[in-house]
Structure formats: C-alpha cells, structure tokens
C-alpha cells in the first residue's frame, strides 16, 4: 500500500482533486507541476518548466500538458482534462482509478478492458521529462495517441494565439523539434519506439486557470498543439515519451527512466516525504548551490535561505550542502553594502544579515568549532557590523541607546504592498530586528573571543548590556506581560504578533525566564494553531482569518492572521529551552499534526501559509522550503532530546 495514494472517488471529485498538486524537480531549477489529475489550474503549472539563461534565468513553461487518447475498435477515449469557461473538456479524469506516489507520481486509468499506468519522472540535472506508459490489461489491439500542448512563455505571464509564433516542426528521430519564438531553446519531443507523427497544427483557445481566476488575475490562455504522435501499445512493452531541450537517443529512454527511478527517495512515511521535499528545494548549477524558496512560483530569498538551511541541510546531516549554499548566499552580503547594487528591492532589509548569525549558531550547535567559524567568516561578520554602525544602504540607524532604528517601511519579513503602499507600517524600533541585533552581537563576541580578536572585542563588548537595558525599557510592559511589536515616535504598537517570539527563542535573549514564559503564554492563547503561528491575534480588529479574494484582499490577510508553519520552529525552540525534556510531549504532539499536510495541498510537502481560522486550509506555494525546513528541524530537536 502506497503511503501517498488517492482513489477513484477522490479523483473524480474535482472539488477535491484540483486542490491537490504535485511538484517534481530536476535539482537544477527545472520542474513539473500540476494537479493530481493533470488538469492545470495555475499559469505556473506545466510538465516542463525550465530556467532560461538567455532570459535572466527566469522560469519558462515549455510543455504545458500532454493529452493521451486510448483507441480501441476505432473508438477514441481522451484521458486529458482542461478547464474552459463554464466546462471541462475532455473529461479524462473520469477514467482515473488511482493516483499514487511510490516514489514518483503514477496514475492508473481504466477504459473498458484497458488498464493503463502512467508515470512521470523529471531527469536529474537535465531539462527533460519522461512519461512512461505501461499497458497492464487489454483484450484487443490498442493504440495510444499523444497530443502535446506547448506554451513557450514566462511562468508569470500567459500566451495568446499570434502570427509571430513559428509553428513549423522539424523532424528528429522518433519525434519532432519545435521552437515557437527566437531566444528559446528547442523543445524536442520523442518516443522510445517509432511512432507516426501527424502534423495538425492548431491553437486551443481560452484554457482557463481557476486559481488565477480566483485571485482576480488574467486566467485565460491559448496553447499551441503541433499535432499528435500515434502508435500501438502492447502489454509487456512500455512506451516512454520524452520532452527536453536536447535530443535524446530513443533507444536509451527506457534505460534512462529506470536509472533515474533508482535515485528517487521512496516516499513511504512523513519523514521520507519531508526528506524528499527538502532535496527538491536545493538547486545545483555548477558551483552555485542555492535554495528555491517555494514551488511553483517562488524563486530565491536570502532571508529564507539563512532561515531554512539549518533544517534543509544540518538537520539531515548534510553539512557539505549547507556550506555550499552558505558560500553562494554570502556573495550577496557584499551587494547589500554596495552603492551600485543596493538598489535591489531586497538589499535594504534590515534583518537579513542578522539571520546569518542564527544560521551560524545552528552550525555551532551541529558541532562546528567556534574558532573555525570565526576564522572562516570573520571578514563577513566585521563587514556586517561596520555597516550597521556606520553609513550603509541598509534601512537602519544605530542610536545611542544601542538599538537599531528602521527608517523605512517594508524592510522586515512582514512586507507586502498594494499599489506601492506597504500594508504593514512597521518601522522605527522593531522588536525582532533588535532581538536579532542583540543575539548577533553576543554571538559575534563569543566567536571573536575564540580568535582572540582584541580590537573587535573592545569595540563591541559594551553593547550587549546597553541593548538589553534599552530593549526592556522600550518594548516590555509589566501589565500587558508581552513585548510591543514596534515603536515609532510617540506611537507604540501593542498588536499581538509572533515577532516578539524571537526575543524568547533566539539563543541569546534580552529577556529573563519569567518574561519568556509570559510571552509563550500569550502566543499559545492568541497565535498558536495546529499549522503554526498566526501573524495577528484574532482579538485584533484587523484580523483576517481566511485567505481569499483578489490580490489586495489576499495581501491584507497575509500578515493579519494567516498562519506560517515556519514560525512553529521558533516556538519549539523557546518552549523546549524553557521546559527541556518535559516539553517534548507537547511539541511532539503538535509536530505529528503536520503529517496531514502532505495530502492536503502540495503532495508530500508543506505549504507556505494556512488560514488563521479552522480548519486552517492551505494556500499559496504548495511546497515551501522554509515550512519543510523547520518541521524537519523540530523533528531533529525532538529526537535529540528523547535520546538524552
């Protein structure tokens, strides 16, 4: 019995099946994604989506979908499914009997006496998808037809029928080569056995993406179909369909499929699903190793990289990849302090360099020697502190009270805007920025002490006590028994948000034990859910408990009540630090609740956000690196404490 499996009753119910999506990657930036019945509901869905260097490395949809038709006794049965305004056509999902993942996506179809299994596999580090068709049963001669729908467009846009498209297809061995527009690579589609290709070029108009429609975006697309492949299929003789940017040797496709399949992680448990999902977020291109923030539409984030690699790598005992990702990411630190490059929209974020120190603390906890860490990273660390203290392109000022003053909106992790206006007005003295600032200085001093760097110690040794005093005077209220979210001028925001959690969860804290307990009590009362922490208390008049509507409405909900699973990791840090082994049962119970997530939205993974209101429905990215990372990291913490 497959761990991840869906039956006929679930699959034919589009209300159920269209909410569940798969993601497969090639570990180098390319991916395939759709719903479990292969009906695309997003412009970000497709069977072959590749980064194209000629277009700034942005992802582009080459092969959108592939319709299969089974033909017996001259009667065709189309297994595809597309959404058009007001209808689905064809309705091939009615033939699906089961969908399983063991370890790659596989669908079984029943058409009369025909039982057909379809398996999808993306080739590692190659821009190629392989689709294997195995005839399990048939009582009469059977023909199979493949009809490819191609897009050749950026994942964030949609294409329309036009006269500029080069619709001519060139012949290659067992297939065709197609390049709709200049600058794109050729899309080469081939079959493992010789097939007849019938040239029947045509546009299919107004294919509708329901997820885009729900968000108020443009949602209709025209896709080009160059024709179709047709061949006989027999029991014991599977057929491989290949689509890639380079020509393949048809005779080797079956061997390649089997070879690639052996590399896959068997997804037969919650833990193995998370392990597989973690690996899919790591992109390797030559010496550049980075974290893809989320699928199917997110790219890279420096903040999320620092936050996620302890879970994605160290908690999985993969120190080598941790160091490679960190090496890649640290190259952008210099850009933050460069006048020429600091104009990038993410370069002014105040907290991002400070998260590096938390990452290095996790490395030290993993077992890295602090003297080694100082030796390797002291140049970067000194550069960071120099720029926080002096004039830099970070949106901050260091005040005489030792605290960082954030002088712009939209430079913390809670940043989203509509029509140029940031929805969160967080600036001034921001609670998590200064909690991170204190943590960073204390840790840097610990590192410098191992390296006997007297100059650094002398320059910064008086700051921790100054910051701790100022932090408590400014943010803490004895009567409220929690921390302010931010202070700007005469205004203090007492909105109950998870940002104060970091003052309790970071290894070095300005707070005493009683303050930490009080903060956790407030978080447990107002913010804690089975899917992580809300971004705002339901008791606040601005709380929005459901993520719905157009872009503006969804953006309003994002940080006004939506639940982020990654925050659970920092809640676990604070809780286990206070309660030690006696707190394991509570955290373990919450952790086990996340197992249901792997069948709710992104199959085998954890989503980006969830509704603040029960039943906490998933939303946005179907596989979010930071969500996956923190769930893995918490599991590792639990195991370590249980072993003691």
Which DSSP string do the residues of 226-262 spell out, in sequence order? EEEEEEEEBTTB-EEEEEESS---GGGHHHHHHHHHH
> Per residue in 324-352, pLDDT tens?
999 999 987 766 666 555 444 455 788 99
Kindly report the number of other CB atoms within 10 A of residue 551's CB atom.
12
- Residue 257's pLDDT is 96
| Cβ neighbours for 355, distance < 8 A, ≥ 6 positions apart | 303, 306, 307, 436
Res 532 pLDDT > 70? yes
Distance CA 306, CA 301 (A): 9
The residue among 496, 640, 499 whose CA lies nearest residue 577 is 640
Evaluate whether 133 touches 118 at the Cβ level (below 8 Å): yes
**With the C-alpha atoms ordered 445, 446, 447, 448, is the resulting torsion angle positive or negative?**
positive
Nearest by Cα to 352 from 338, 333, 339, 334: 333
Per mean pLDDT, which range of 42-46, 213-217, 484-488, 510-514 is the poorest? 213-217
CA dist., res. 83 & res. 612, Å (int) = 30
- Residue 154 has φ and ψ, to the nearest 5°, of -65, 145
* pLDDT, mean of residues 363-375: 97
- How far apart CA 341 and CA 353 sit, in angstroms, is 16
Among 471, 478, 544, 554, CA closest to 511 = 471
Give me the torsion for CA of 337, 338, 341, 346, rounded to 10°: 10
Interacting residues of 211 by C-beta distance below 8 A, sequence separation 6+: 41, 42
- With contact defined as beta carbons under 8 Å apart, do 228 and 197 qualify? yes
pLDDT band at residue 497 using 50, 70 and 90 as cut-offs: very high
What is the reported pLDDT for 527? 98
398-408 core/surface letters (b: 16 or more CB in 10 A; e: else): beeebbbbbee
Handedness of CA 415, 420, 424, 427 (dihedral sign): positive
Q: Are 408 and 395 in contact (CB under 8 A)?
A: yes
Asked if residues 522 and 481 have their Cβ atoms less than 8 Å apart, the reply is: yes
Entry pTM: 0.95
Average pLDDT over residues 385-403: 85
Average pLDDT over residues 215-219: 94
Place of tokens 């600032």: 437
Residue range(s) in the chain whose domain bears CATH number 2.70.98: 4-263
Residues of the chain with CATH 1.50.10.10: 331-643
Mean pLDDT of 363-385: 96
How confident is the model over 158-164, as a mean pLDDT?
96
- Map tokens 């100022």 to a residue: 470
Angle in degrees, 0-180, between the axes of helices 625-643 and 584-593, rounded to the nearest 10:
150
Average of per-residue pLDDT across 287-291: 93
Question: What is the C-alpha to C-alpha distance for residues 112 and 134, in angstroms, rounded to an integer?
Answer: 16
Domain 331-643 adopts which CATH fold?
Glycosyltransferase (1.50.10)
* Residue 13 in this model has a pLDDT that exceeds 80: yes
Tell me the pLDDT band of 94, cut-offs 50, 70 and 90. Answer: very high
**Angle between helices 463-475 and 431-450 in degrees, nearest 10:** 160
Cα separation, 194 vs 250, in Å, equals: 9
Measured between its terminal Cα atoms, the distance across the chain in Å is 35
CATH entry, 4-263, from 2.70.98, 2.160.20, 1.20.120, 2.60.40: 2.70.98
Q: What integer pLDDT is reported at residue 342 of this predicted model?
A: 47
Q: Are 392 and 383 a contacting pair, CB within 8 Å?
A: no
Whole-angstrom CA distances from 356 to 303, 352, 366 are 8, 7, 15
pLDDT band at 605 (very low <50, low <70, confident <90, very high): very high
Write the pLDDT tens digit of every residue in 250-267.
999 999 999 999 988 889
Rounded Cα distance between 522 and 585, Å, is: 20
Q: Mean per-residue pLDDT for 231-256?
A: 97
Query: Quick one: pLDDT at residue 391?
Result: 65
CB contact at 8 A, 50 and 150: no
pLDDT at 184: 96
Cα torsion angle, 461, 462, 468, 471, sign? negative
Task: Please tell me the total number of residues recorded for the chain in this structure.
Answer: 644
CA distances in angstroms from 537 to 271, 520, 631, listed in the order given: 31, 14, 23
- Give the pLDDT confidence score for residue 104 in this predicted structure: 86
Rounded to 5 degrees, φ, ψ at 632 are -65, -45
DSSP E strand stretches across 518-558: 528-529, 532-534
pLDDT of 17? 97
- The average pLDDT across 412-437 equals 88
Quote the mean pLDDT of the chain. Answer: 94
Tell me the C-alpha distance between 59 and 37, whole Å: 23
What is the pLDDT at residue 344?
47
Mean pLDDT for 358-369 is 97
Query: Mean per-residue pLDDT for 494-512?
Result: 98
How large a percentage of the chain has pLDDT more than 90?
88
Packed helices 270-281 and 625-643: angle between N→C axes, nearest 10 degrees:
130
C-alpha to C-alpha distance for 442 and 466, rounded to whole angstroms: 12
Report, as an integer, the average pLDDT of 75-80. 97
550 within 8 A of 216, measured Cβ to Cβ: yes
143 pLDDT higher than 60: yes
């Amino acid at each position: 019995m497959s761990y991840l499996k869906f039956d006929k009753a679930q699959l034919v119910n589009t209300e159920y099946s269209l909410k569940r999506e798969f993601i497969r990657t090639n570990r180098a930036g390319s991916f395939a994604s759709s719903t479990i019945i292969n009906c695309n509901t997003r412009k970000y869905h497709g069977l072959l989506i590749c980064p194209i260097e000629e277009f700034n490395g942005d992802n582009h949809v080459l092969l959108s979908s592939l319709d299969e038709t089974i033909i017996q006794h001259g009667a065709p049965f189309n297994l595809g499914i597309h959404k058009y305004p007001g209808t689905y056509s064809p309705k091939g999902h009615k033939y699906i009997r089961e969908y399983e993942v063991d370890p790659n996506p596989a669908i079984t179809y029943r058409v009369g006496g025909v039982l057909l299994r379809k398996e999808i596999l993306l080739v590692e580090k190659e821009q190629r998808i392989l689709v294997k068709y195995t005839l399990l049963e048939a009582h009469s001669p059977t023909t199979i037809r493949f009809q490819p729908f191609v897009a050749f467009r950026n994942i964030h846009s949609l294409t329309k029928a036009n006269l500029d498209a080069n619709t001519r297809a060139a012949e290659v061995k067992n297939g065709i080569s197609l390049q709709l527009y200049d600058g794109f690579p050729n899309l080469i589609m081939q079959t493992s056995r010789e097939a007849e290709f019938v040239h029947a070029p045509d546009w299919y108009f107004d294919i509708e993406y329901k997820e885009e429609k729900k968000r108020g975006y443009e949602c209709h697309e025209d896709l080009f179909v160059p024709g179709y492949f047709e061949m006989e299929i027999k029991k014991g003789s599977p057929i491989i369909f290949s689509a890639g940017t380079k020509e393949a040797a048809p005779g080797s496709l079956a061997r390649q499929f089997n070879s690639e399949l052996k590399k896959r992680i068997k997804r037969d448990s919650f833990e193995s699903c998370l392990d597989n999902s973690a690996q899919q977020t790591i992109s390797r291109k030559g010496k550049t190793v980075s974290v893809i923030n989320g699928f199917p539409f997110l790219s890279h984030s420096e903040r999320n990289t620092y936050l996620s690699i302890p879970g994605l790598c160290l908690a999985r005992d993969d120190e080598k990849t941790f160091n490679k990702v960190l090496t890649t990411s640290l190259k952008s630190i210099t850009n933050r302090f460069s006048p020429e490059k600091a104009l990038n929209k993410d370069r002014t974020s105040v907290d991002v360099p400070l998260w590096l120190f938390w990452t290095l603390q996790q490395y030290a906890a993993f077992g890295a020697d602090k003297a080694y860490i100082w030796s390797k990273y002291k140049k970067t660390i000194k550069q960071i502190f120099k720029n926080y203290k002096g004039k830099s392109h970070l949106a901050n000022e260091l005040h005489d009270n030792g605290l960082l003053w954030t002088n712009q909106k939209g430079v913390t992790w809670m940043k989203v805007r509509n029509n140029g206006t940031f929805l969160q007005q967080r600036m001034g003295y921001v609670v998590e920025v200064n909690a991170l600032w204190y943590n960073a200085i204390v840790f840097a001093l610990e590192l410098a002490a191992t390296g006997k760097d007297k100059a650094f110690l002398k320059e910064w040794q008086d700051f921790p006590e100054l910051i701790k005093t100022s932090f408590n005077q400014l943010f803490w209220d004895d009567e409220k028994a929690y921390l302010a979210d931010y202070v700007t001028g005469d205004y203090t925001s007492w909105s109950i948000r998870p940002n104060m959690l970091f003052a309790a969860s970071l290894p070095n804290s300005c707070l005493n034990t009683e303050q930490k307990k009080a903060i956790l009590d407030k978080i447990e009362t107002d913010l804690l859910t089975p899917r992580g922490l809300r971004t705002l208390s339901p008791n606040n008049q601005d709380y929005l408990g459901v993520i719905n509507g157009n872009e503006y409405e969804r953006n309003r909900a994002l940080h006004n009540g939506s639940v982020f699973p990654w925050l659970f990791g920092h809640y676990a840090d604070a809780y286990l630090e206070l309660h030690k082994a006696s707190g394991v049962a509570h955290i373990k119970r919450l952790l086990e609740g996340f197992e249901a997530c792997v069948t709710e939205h992104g199959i085998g993974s954890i989503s980006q956000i969830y509704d603040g209101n029960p039943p906490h429905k998933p939303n946005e990215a179907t596989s979010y690196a930071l969500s996956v990372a923190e769930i893995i990291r918490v599991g590792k913490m639990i195991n370590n404490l249980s072993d003691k």
